[in-house]
Chains A and B, each alone.
Chain A
Amino acid sequence: MIETLLVGLDAALRIDTFVWISAGLLLGMLMGSLPGFTTTMGMSVLVPISFLVGDPLIGIPFLIGVYKGGIYGGSVPAILVSMPGTGASIATVFDGHELTKKGQPRKALEMGLYASAISDFFSDVFTLVMIIPVAAVVLNFGPPEIASVMFLSLVIIAVTSTGPVIKGLIMLCLGVWLGFIGADPFSGMARYTFGTNELYDGFHLIPMLIGLFALPEIFNAVKEGDRSGSRIAFVGERLRLAELKRSLRTICRSTVIGTGIGLVPGLGQPIAAMMGYIAAKNASKTPENFGKGELDGVAAAEAANNAVNGPTMVPLLTLGIPGDAVTALLLGAFMMQGLRPGPTLLETSGETVFAILIAMVFANVLFLIIGYVTIPLFARVVTIRRSLLIPVTIMLAFAGTYLARGNPFDIVTLIGFGLVGIAARTARFDVAPMVMGFILGRELEYTFGQTLALAGEDWMRFAFVERIGMTAVLIATPIIGILLGTRMNRLRQRAIAREQA
């Protein structure tokens, strides 16, 4: 094992590998920062380059660079113009965009970058060292366990949303219901589509996100007009070392959460980012600052979503099972290089695999450098005059929506959810539980259906013998929910009392 690692290290230390990773990172960041252009789309376009190169130590690290760059790139528009390009950057919007509004976009971007790079680095090291022992554990997570964890996540999101719990619950249920629109995943029958073809696939996540998060911001900015002065936006200060140090605990916590979630195929970055954020808010001494431009919130979300990346390689490499579309593309890229992911890969080409994993760890260092160089460029976006920035943002919102799948109906979705977002903001409803309800509700339904199909008639045996893990999570759910809920309530009241004092 150690020997293979050393040979791998030797093979990975190549200047051309690093050049290609850098190219991938840069391309990924650019693509990720364009709303509507997802990492999956970017990678799928770039896959031919990787196989034409013909060297696994160039082609695959290149794609890994695109992957990492893309995930981080998505947080750039989230922070600058409140436009999350994917579900992974929802939690980044909460505090990231508030910081931009306070004139600190650079600070938020830098915190995002450092948190992402640090957590990515450690989750990759974890993957590299633990790949063999962890592989056996991964298979134990099936639909029943995923369904129970999703249910727990929904409960946690509902009780920790800002404002009264009942409002959070209403929005959550609304989101879950929105997720039901479209084809039933088990029979293919249309539900709540009102006979239209457009709704057969349900609402698309990207227009929903842009509509709910970006359009209300634009609306507010237009309403305020130039009253607030056209020079409120600054690049702002750099992140101070002390600030980074203060968030190190949060970054560590989020790294652990993200890595854990990444190991379970099918949970994904949106849940990781949300859970990391909620955990940070719960552990904070000043939870009332979350959502109002708390640097720690940016760190929590960004560290958690990037930590998912590394561990998704475990089921991919050891079992040949891709957890999502991005890893499915990587699977193809590996196969085209003559590396067949699966139980025999580590025996037959262990050196190449470890070289790739080591290159993945080093990629984070390059990631830090490239991100650092590009941040001032990105941050300058918001210093454009408002009368120019707002139209450009509107254009980005519509173009991004259309780009995502080229469906004109998505424009309607965008405007519709924009109106919902504006209404919700006026009535002081938090839209985050709705979006999470939408994302998780669909998955929960699917995994629950799978669980029922698996369980068959003897469900007692299924729940208490075969799937004891699922049952344990389900029993713990109300307890965790009540504890968290009362704690949040107490904190909220304390914050109100403090404000009045």
Chain B
Amino acid sequence: MSIDPVGVAAASRWFGSRGRVRLAAPLFCAAVLAISLTVAQAQYPEKPITLIVPYAAGGSSDLNARVFTTFINEYLGQPMLIKLVPGQAGQKGTLEAVRSAPDGYTLLFTDNYRDQLHRYTFRNDAYDTNTDLVPVARVNYGEIGIIVRTDGPYATWAELEADARARPGQLTMSHSGLWVALFVPALQIMNNLGLQLRMVPYRGGGPAKAALMAGDVDVSMAFPATVAADVEAGRIRILATAGPERILEGVPSFAEIGLPATTGFMHRVVMAPAGVPEDRLRVLREAFARVQAEEAYQELMDQLGENTEYLDGVDYELVRRQQSNDYRELAESLLEQ
């Protein structure tokens, strides 16, 4: 629905002369009717869409969102505007998304830990992510890797594991903050293999990596892309990567070292408040699917070290249910201690 400003000017000039008012009234009515009809038929979206990003400015999620929102307006016909709502470990932004009208004009950019794990670790009566949010699309995912210094004592995971077993609570591991990307898989590893590491928090993945390189801690975790330059320079060694299969040559997968295949995946997901009309969800999903196919987008994401493994919201819902069970067990096992 767009009104040609020139037309408006012409109309006001025309209506301006008093003698024509009588004639103007029915014409005006007709015009209003015509406009309202076009509104009814107008294609969603007819105004900009707000994407709530519950992270602080400057983080990797902020950056990811900036990349795909730059491309998606071409496929939606409307811009997607980022609204950063950091705070309360992401709960503030999530709550705002849950409480917004389910008309497809407010979406949420989140990840699996905030979506499924934090329900157990940060108790909250205000919303339930499972009933209040529906997945639109998974934008991409990352597989975590276990990293050590090359000049350190560990050449393989087996050596590290043996040392950790011999000296429980002595080895230190740096992570990027409570209940997020590095911390959760580390807990899962310790739980599954019966290990005990001393966890040292840092503000983000960068400082956590710095702590490893400085020799302040013995082991850390990272998404392989974020340490690619360090691996190339021979400073950091990746001991294992998440998933059922190997993704790097000569580096065992988590399945090989005795971990469940789902451990250590971080999914970046766009959600919508529950109750968004099906046809609007379809429009959104299609737009995300088409962005993922665009070459320029793939190139930028590749340079950021992110993949473009799009997954439709319907399929992601299945992944989500599985996570919900896994994380409940994980949280319970910890909160009991």
A interface residue numbers (CB < 8 A to B): 38, 40-41, 43-44, 47-48, 51-52, 139-140, 142-143, 183, 185-188, 197, 200-201, 265-266, 315, 319-322, 324-326, 328-329, 331-332, 335-338, 340-345, 405-407, 446, 449-450, 453-454, 456
Give the total of B residues in contact with A, Cβ under 8 Å: 52
Say yes or no: A139-B214 contact (C-beta < 8 A), given A188-B121, A453-B200: yes
Cα of A187 to Cα of B121 in the assembled complex, Å: 10
Cα of A371 to Cα of B66 in the assembled complex, Å: 30
Tell whether, in the assembled complex, residue B204 and residue A328 are in contact, meaning their CB atoms are under 8 Å apart. Answer: yes
**Inter-chain CB contacts under 8 Å: number:** 137
Query: Across the interface, which residues of B come within 8 angstroms of A331, CB to CB?
Result: 206
Say yes or no: A44-B84 contact (C-beta < 8 A), given A325-B58, A329-B58: yes
Q: Does B36 contact A (CB under 8 A)?
A: no
Q: Does B319 contact A (CB under 8 A)?
A: no
- Could you list 12 further interchain pairs (A-B, Cβ under 8 angstroms) beyond the known A321-B209, A322-B204? A142-B211, A142-B214, A143-B216, A183-B89, A187-B178, A265-B207, A266-B203, A336-B300, A340-B229, A344-B232, A405-B84, A456-B172
What's the least CB distance linking B218 to chain A, in Å?
Answer: 11
What's the least CB distance linking B336 to chain A, in Å?
Answer: 15
Tell whether, in the assembled complex, residue A44 and residue B87 are in contact, meaning their CB atoms are under 8 Å apart. Answer: no
Tell whether, in the assembled complex, residue B170 and residue A322 are in contact, meaning their CB atoms are under 8 Å apart. Answer: no
Cα of A345 to Cα of B233 in the assembled complex, Å: 10
Quick one: closest A residue to B170, CB to CB?
A456
Tell whether, in the assembled complex, residue B304 and residue A336 are in contact, meaning their CB atoms are under 8 Å apart. Answer: yes
Quick one: closest B residue to A328, CB to CB?
B58
Query: Across the interface, which residues of B come within 8 angstroms of A453, CB to CB?
Result: 172, 198-201
Tell whether, in the assembled complex, residue A44 and residue B210 are in contact, meaning their CB atoms are under 8 Å apart. Answer: no
What's the least CB distance linking A85 to chain B, in Å?
Answer: 15
Tell whether, in the assembled complex, residue A321 and residue B210 are in contact, meaning their CB atoms are under 8 Å apart. Answer: yes
Candidates A47, A143, A320; contact of B230 at CB < 8 Å: A320
Cα of A454 to Cα of B210 in the assembled complex, Å: 14
Chain B 82-98 interface 0/1 with A at a Cβ cutoff of 8 Å (1 = within): 01111111001000000
Query: Across the interface, which residues of B come within 8 angstroms of A322, CB to CB?
Result: 58, 204, 206
Q: Does B14 contact A (CB under 8 A)?
A: no
Say yes or no: A265-B303 contact (C-beta < 8 A), given A142-B216, A343-B235, A405-B86: no
Cα of A310 to Cα of B87 in the assembled complex, Å: 30
Cα of A405 to Cα of B122 in the assembled complex, Å: 22
Query: Across the interface, which residues of A come within 8 angstroms of B199, CB to CB?
Result: 453
What's the least CB distance linking A449 to chain B, in Å?
Answer: 8
Tell whether, in the assembled complex, residue B207 and residue A321 are in contact, meaning their CB atoms are under 8 Å apart. Answer: yes
Query: Across the interface, which residues of B come within 8 angstroms of A449, CB to CB?
Result: 201
Query: Across the interface, which residues of B come within 8 angstroms of A183, CB to CB?
Result: 88-89
Candidates A40, A185, A342, A405; contact of B201 at CB < 8 Å: A185
Quick one: closest B residue to A197, CB to CB?
B88
Tell whether, in the assembled complex, residue A201 and residue B57 are in contact, meaning their CB atoms are under 8 Å apart. Answer: no
Tell whether, in the assembled complex, residue A450 and residue B200 are in contact, meaning their CB atoms are under 8 Å apart. Answer: yes
Q: Does B59 contact A (CB under 8 A)?
A: yes
Tell whether, in the assembled complex, residue A341 and residue B229 are in contact, meaning their CB atoms are under 8 Å apart. Answer: yes
Q: Does B157 contact A (CB under 8 A)?
A: no
Query: Across the interface, which residues of B come within 8 angstroms of A142, CB to CB?
Result: 211, 214, 216
Query: Across the interface, which residues of B come within 8 angstroms of A335, CB to CB?
Result: 303-305
Tell whether, in the assembled complex, residue B87 and residue A450 are in contact, meaning their CB atoms are under 8 Å apart. Answer: no
Candidates B58, B87, B200, B209; contact of A454 at CB < 8 Å: B200
Q: Does B120 contact A (CB under 8 A)?
A: no
Query: Across the interface, which residues of B come within 8 angstroms of A143, CB to CB?
Result: 200, 211, 216
CB-CB nearest 5 A-B residue pairs: A342-B229, A325-B58, A343-B233, A328-B58, A332-B63
Quick one: closest A residue to B179, CB to CB?
A188
Tell whether, in the assembled complex, residue A405 and residue B63 are in contact, meaning their CB atoms are under 8 Å apart. Answer: no
Quick one: closest A residue to B300, CB to CB?
A336
Cα of A456 to Cα of B56 in the assembled complex, Å: 32
What's the least CB distance linking B313 to chain A, in Å?
Answer: 25
Quick one: closest A residue to B304, CB to CB?
A335
Tell whether, in the assembled complex, residue A344 and residue B216 are in contact, meaning their CB atoms are under 8 Å apart. Answer: no
Tell whether, in the assembled complex, residue A454 and residue B217 are in contact, meaning their CB atoms are under 8 Å apart. Answer: yes
Tell whether, in the assembled complex, residue B232 and residue A186 are in contact, meaning their CB atoms are under 8 Å apart. Answer: no
Quick one: closest B residue to A41, CB to CB?
B57
Q: Which of B58, B66, B89, B179 has the most chain A CB atoms closer than 10 A to its own CB?
A: B58
